[in-house]
Structure 1
Amino acid sequence: MDLFALPPLAALLDLTTRGLLALTSFLTPAAGGAAAALAVVLVTLVVRAGLIPVGVSQARAERDRARLAPQLRALRERWGKNAERLQRETMQLYRDAGVSPFAGCLPVLAQAPVVGLLYAVFLHPTVAGHANGLLTEQLAGVPLGSSLLTALTRGSADAVTFVLLGVVVAVIAGAGELTRRFLRPPFDPATPRSVVVMTAVLPFTTAVVALFVPFAAGLYLAVTTLWTFGQRLVLRRLYPIDDGRTASQR
């Protein structure tokens, strides 16, 4: 079931779409045929800027969890065979440290409606019973509603399509690689192998998604991943992670 088919959400989706089209019209005299794509980029930047407090909350939570990592490891070693005692001692440790184990989660959930609404605009070819005009706009002749998959299956992919969509995917993959190199969490030998692998692969899944979603959604994802990497890099310096181990142990 598409939640955005419900009248209240459909109305919000329609309003957001009309707002983007109005911004496109406003930018057209200066940006010409790139106005719609520029509107997508600008709105994405505004949304990400508005969500900076969420990033700050997540950075603080990540720092606090890393600070408690040595004590948590000690508790696992001592009470690993007693799940109930381990849970009780873990919660007591968080209380004594004045840290919530769920810190950073609620702000992420709070941002979901805003991000979800904007992203839905780029995915829905029909909004409130009429065609999504934003997806018919073009950049260098490539419709914002086209994806690499649909272009290939319909035989409409040309050199420009490959270049533009390829750049979007490359930017997202590049941001994922930078995230993996510079922002990976401190190594914890107790972390399951599956979690380690998932953490390494996760930054690149967005690049795979970009192969299948409309061009407009790909632009949104590219701007978002770049912004997120830059923001996290700055916040990591403001709220450095120190789990009590030496660099040789990491």
Structure 2
Amino acid sequence: MFGFLDVPVSGAYHLIHALTGPLSTALAIVVFTLGVRLLLHPLARSAARGERARATLLPQLRTLQEKHGKDRDRLAAEMAKLQQESGTSLFTGCLPMLLQLPFFTIMYRLFTTPVIGGEPNSLLGATLLGTPLGAHGLSGSPLVFVIAAGLAVVAWFSVRLQAPQPDAPGGKLLRLLPYGTVLAILVLPQAAGLYLLTTTAWTAAERALLRRRS
């Protein structure tokens, strides 16, 4: 099903192995994740500018909701028209997250595939706190609880960093989304959990830094 990922997965496999030489496998995953986020940083800066632009549209969005709230099709059309006229998009901020999906999928496959590039996947034997990094969910205890606690802390900070926009479309849902990572770790391999913890911590720190500079 994901055969098109075989080449990037093989490349990532050898990269993680190269990093594991001077580092542990867990730390190699962290370094890999930080490299991905560094590559995506220009997009995050663009998303931050878009977020500030969207904030100026909130009064007009509230007006549209009050006027066309019962007519979803008309509301959607008017919102699209407003975005087009202002030159911004309500979904620009999602782009960095969406572009991470291929890298996250690669990390998932690295620790769930028994054979990579025609040879046994030696990463499956890597451990942290005595727990295999390929262990899923609660079978990865005690590491799963450590990662889940870290994700909960990062989610709390992420929510506090979000500008309060209760009347914005999807505003309440967006404030709950960061906590979804805590639930995700209950079904993912611990290596993918490390990726999530690193990338969400980067996102929180990045958002705080960009907001301070604005």
Fold-level similarity (TM above 0.5): yes
TM range (shorter): 0.7 to 0.9
Q: In the alignment, residue 142 of structure 1 is paired with which amino acid?
A: T
| Letter matched to residue 22 of structure 1 | A
RMSD over aligned Cα atoms? 2.8
- Which residue, out of 199, 221, 234, partners 2:174? 199
Q: Identify if the C-alpha distance between structure 1 residues 143 and 86 changes in structure 2 by more than 3 Å, giving closer, same or farther.
A: closer
Q: Which residue of 1 aligns with 2:147?
A: 168
SS of the residue 1:45 aligns to: helix
Partner of residue 11, structure 2: 15
- Divergent runs of 4+, >6 A: none
Deviation readout 1:55-97 (Å, 9 max, x if unpaired):
1122222221121010121233234455565445434433332
Q: For structure 2, list consecutive stretches of 5 or more residues without a partner in the other structure.
A: none
CA contact (8 A) 2:108 2:192 kept: yes
Trace 1:1-250 onto structure 2 (pairs within 5 A). 2-3=1-2, 6=3, 8-25=4-21, 27=22, 31=23, 35-80=24-69, 86-106=75-95, 108-151=97-140, 161-162=141-142, 164-183=143-162, 185-188=164-167, 191=169, 196=172, 198-239=173-214
Q: For structure 1, which segment, 114-123 or 171-180, has the greater mean C-alpha deviation from structure 2 after superposition? A: 114-123
Structure 1 residue ranges without an equivalent (≥5): 152-160, 240-250
Cα distance in 1, alignment partners of residues 196 and 94 from structure 2: 21
**Identity across matched positions, percent:** 39
Q: C-alpha displacement at 1:112, in angstroms?
A: 3.3
The TM-score with structure 2 as length reference comes to 0.83
TM-score, normalising length: structure 1: 0.72
Quick one: distance in 2 between partners of 1:184 and 1:132?
44
Residues 170-221 of structure 1 deviation map (CA, whole Å, 9 limit, x = unaligned): 1111101111223254221x757xx62x334322221122233222222111
Kept in 1, the 8 Å contact 2:16–2:29? The answer is yes
> For the residues of structure 2 that align with 1:79 and 1:144, how far apart are their CA atoms?
50
Other structure's SS at 1:124 match: coil
The amino acid that maps onto 1:201 is L
Contact 1:135 / 1:143 at 8 angstroms: preserved in 2? Answer: yes
